[in-house]
């Protein structure tokens, strides 16, 4: 484990997000099994209830009626000695079957090269509060040579003909990542159907795709399908878009799902829309810095089909319910001598901003721990590279985050939410960057917008209501 940056330890609550779903204490990571049942959203997540570091994950559980205010419940399932999940209940799905709620997850037994990953089931009561392991676990084990370096994180759905389908993340150091596809009539007995999609690192030049894929998710808009995968060792998230014949995905385009510190997105079908949550990762340097918590869930995002067949996203409409006080609204002229300051006064801030394309080389936005602290992240557009950048060099010497974003005429439309150490940014509904910030003097959040020459921008900003976002067990 990398040693913490000297002086990086700050008061336990100063950097803790308040708008984001989090357990009261200790470690959380991947979202699992989001589902809507009887008007209540349920979201599970990987959770170490004993410490603020990763270890033998259980499934945490929270529920909501509006996607932004969450009630936490006792853990849904925890590792149990003598079972296929005795060393961890890894990620998976929750579905409604004829038998009621069913959890499909990866059970882990053993460590290192002796680790065995299999698909397991647990059956829930109608309220999704009590879960009982299926005595026939595991229900799926990797075949010989399949998933040599991983076999985990089942994504499960039911087709109109009643058949169940399971995608499993896998991969091989020599061949690259792959997603395996299985079929069942009852969730208990599974047969191999196909390799849904597998690739080598040469298939998508310039796109980091790794050698093992985790947490597969499959969604569609009509006859257009998108596969989302996460790259082993928290190395990013990627989507592939194209046609799907029921067996094989044939992608014609691909891009990062998020260009920053977000991992393992999990999707929920909610009427005619797709909602996604992801894990806002901590920077590894800051995981063991003395805090009693680690990790946060992203705010809900709606996935949309963007121009050019791209997978786009925007904050779900429910996020607007967090707005407490308007801070600014309308057109403003900014320049180097008169930047626009939006003080947070210790609160979370939402900013929606439109900048004309011909002014982008002169525009900048800074998220600062305080206007005088000289600790902030600068957001700007690098026209020479065609990239949106979050420069974090003055906040813990973190590497910059860069996202390809082609703007030809028109406007750059930024939607930014700042919540203590979390920044979620969506640009033109086509690219997203999630960032963590760790100022050593977190005396309050402010957003400063300026330009090297006079620029007219359209801007709206709000102070956000941080009360009662998380409640229930532990709170």
Show the beta-strand stretches assigned E in 159-283.
Answer: 164-172, 176-184, 190-198, 213-221, 224-231, 237-244, 249-258, 262-270, 273-280
Pairing of strands 26-37, 293-294: parallel
Beta bridge partners of 95: 102
Query: Which residues make Cβ contacts (< 8 Å) with residue 467, sequence separation at least 6?
Result: none
| DSSP letter, residue 400 | P
- Rounded distance, CA 460 to CA 353, Å? 7
* Per-position b or e across 414-444, b if 16+ CB within 10 A of its CB: bbbbbbbbbbbbbbbbbbbbbbbbbbbebeb
- Is residue 30 part of the annotated active site? The answer reads yes
End-to-end CA distance of the chain: 30
* Per-position b or e across 93-117, b if 16+ CB within 10 A of its CB: bbbeeeeebbbbbbbbbeeeeeeeb
List, as own/partner pairs, every contact residues 327-333 make where C-beta atoms lie below 8 angstroms and the sequence separation is at least 24, other chains included: 327/461, 327/462, 327/463, 328/459, 328/460, 328/461, 329/459, 329/460, 329/461, 330/458, 330/459, 330/460, 331/456, 331/457, 331/458, 331/459, 332/456, 332/457, 332/459, 333/454, 333/455, 333/456, 333/457
Tokens of 42: 């349920």
Active-site residue (options: 12, 30, 38, 172): 30
Question: What are the φ/ψ torsions at residue 286 (nearest 5 degrees)?
Answer: -105, 10
Pair 103, 131: CB distance under 8 Å: yes
- Rounded distance, CA 238 to CA 73, Å? 31
Cite the active site residues. 30
């Amino acid at each position: 484990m990398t040693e913490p940056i000297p002086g990086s330890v700050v008061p336990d609550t100063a950097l803790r997000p308040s708008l984001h779903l989090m357990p009261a204490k200790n470690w959380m990571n991947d979202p699992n099994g989001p589902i809507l049942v009887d008007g209540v959203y349920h979201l599970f997540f990987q959770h170490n209830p004993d410490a603020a570091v990763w270890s033998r994950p259980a499934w945490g559980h929270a529920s909501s009626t509006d996607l932004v205010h969450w009630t936490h419940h006792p853990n849904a399932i925890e590792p149990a000695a003598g079972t296929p999940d005795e060393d961890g209940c890894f990620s998976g799905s929750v579905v409604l079957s004829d038998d009621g709620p069913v959890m499909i997850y990866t059970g882990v037994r053993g460590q290192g090269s002796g680790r065995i990953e299999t698909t397991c089931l647990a059956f829930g009561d109608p309220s999704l509060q009590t879960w009982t392991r299926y005595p026939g676990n595991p229900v799926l084990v990797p075949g010989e040579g399949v998933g040599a370096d991983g076999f985990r994180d089942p994504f499960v759905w039911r087709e109109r003909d009643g058949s169940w389908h399971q995608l499993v993340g896998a991969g091989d150091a020599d061949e690259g990542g792959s997603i395996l596809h299985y079929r069942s009539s009852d969730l208990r007995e599974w047969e191999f159907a196909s390799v849904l999609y597998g690739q080598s690192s040469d298939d998508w030049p310039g796109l980091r795709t790794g050698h093992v894929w985790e947490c597969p998710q499959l969604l569609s808009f009509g006859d257009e399908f998108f596969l989302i995968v996460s790259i082993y060792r928290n190395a990013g998230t990627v989507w592939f878009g194209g046609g799907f014949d029921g067996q094989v995905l044939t992608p014609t385009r691909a891009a990062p799902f998020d260009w920053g510190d977000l991992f393992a997105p999990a999707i929920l079908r909610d009427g005619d829309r797709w909602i996604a949550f992801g894990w806002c990762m901590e920077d590894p340097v800051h995981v063991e810095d003395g805090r009693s918590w680690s990790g946060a869930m992203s705010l809900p995002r709606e996935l949309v089909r963007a121009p050019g067949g791209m997978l786009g996203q925007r904050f779900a409409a429910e996020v607007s319910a967090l707005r407490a006080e308007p801070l600014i609204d309308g057109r403003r002229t900014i320049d180097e001598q008169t930047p626009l300051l939006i003080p947070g006064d210790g609160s979370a801030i939402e900013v929606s901003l439109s900048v004309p394309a011909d002014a982008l080389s002169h525009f900048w936005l800074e998220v600062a721990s305080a206007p005088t602290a000289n600790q902030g992240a600068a957001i700007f557009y690098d026209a020479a590279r065609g990239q949106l950048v979050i420069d974090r060099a003055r906040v813990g010497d973190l590497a910059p985050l860069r996202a390809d974003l082609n703007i030809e005429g028109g406007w750059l439309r930024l939607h930014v939410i700042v919540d203590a150490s979390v920044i979620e940014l969506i640009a033109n509904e086509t690219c997203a960057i999630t960032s963590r910030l760790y100022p050593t003097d977190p005396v309050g959040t402010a957003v400063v917008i300026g330009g090297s020459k006079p620029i007219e921008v359209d801007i709206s900003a709000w102070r956000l209501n941080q009360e009662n976002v998380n409640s229930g067990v532990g709170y």
